[in-house]
Structure 1
């Protein structure tokens, strides 16, 4: 007779997900193999998710909800599970980012996480966290779901020209990433400006940063280093960084010109024009 490992649902969101999956499966009178057959996966995968050895996906969660008649319980819980897999120091920012009404960001080296393709994110995460690639990629893609809300946050992004030229993950990955950026040109909630090298010295030379605005709470400033994030609502710093950001916007190309530059870089370096009729799905 197999040994059933006891679960502590209070240990983490992932443990709670696993314990509830086991409880509801058993209440439905299904074995792991039977539930797996219902949701088109193996019983082994069901068992690994129940014992927190594997991270559930959105597809798995939606199928489990349908099979067990849980009314979307696992799909709703998944966001909390994946957010808990983000680096501990980043989680407070991610929670606030999800609540923000307006996000403005300057990025000097990399595409902002909310706009990354899965392959681009995977290439970045592989460099520093090869042992946690799948869960952190899934968590990053989950963050992007805030852009698919009925009323998403307004997102304004200023990218250094270096972001377009720094090849991440190889030519195919970078071509798709540039195509994704170009496709946002038609998104009414996302505006992208490119800050060209020709500008010279500018207000973002100290590095990347984000500003979050909320409907009711104070504005927040966020920046990060290799292993920690710095977040503050200090009014003086917010004022200084807001003015600095306005200067970056003034120096950068207009959104329409920026989209043209992104397409031009894509064509010149990778020889393919993007399809702008469809915004890529995160």
Structure 2
């Protein structure tokens, strides 16, 4: 346990949820919602359909889990993970459309969307491309300037969000490998996704208590994080998230959303 005199650290656990489509199911949203404190809800462009979106929002609201819009490129076939060159007018409209849809479901369930996290290829593009980052930030701020943008520490996405007047929060990934530069190892490379629940849990505990992770080359990388993502579509995702939560709780780490939910 942490020393009694030390102030107990706290962290948010988030997961990408609502990623089924029609008869196709991905992950176990109900069980994951019992573990995480924030839900990044797919908004229909990379995954999710209206019924799935509403069901996920309802489940999050009932549990007091913070609701975030997981906006994406329009890419159902590629699950939003294919790089795209979308003109600014179209990209801004796409973000507004997705955010508006999720807000409507949240309102219908007596809840609110509290933050935005881009998905997949859009997340990575916004992290480094100033034009894409600005488009996302301006679109979000135009819908609701009280929303928080969740992204990689030090990314262009967070800088653009701040310039647009949005609050920002930093994110780390429990089950993804890091490069020495503090970026994520691309999914196509060996070892990019981690699947040992005990190792992942120990890694997250170290991240929360020291602010560092070990990169693929063995160097230590500083990764300040307000929230830690455990992906909902990886094999054994729920068991991994449960193990992360158990280890953190056992060490006195408080688990709570990084945004207000009341």
TM over 0.5: no
Say which structure is richer in helix.
1
Say which structure is richer in strand.
2
Tell me which structure has the larger Cα radius of gyration: 1
TM-score (structure 2 length as normaliser): 0.31
TM-score (structure 1 length as normaliser): 0.29
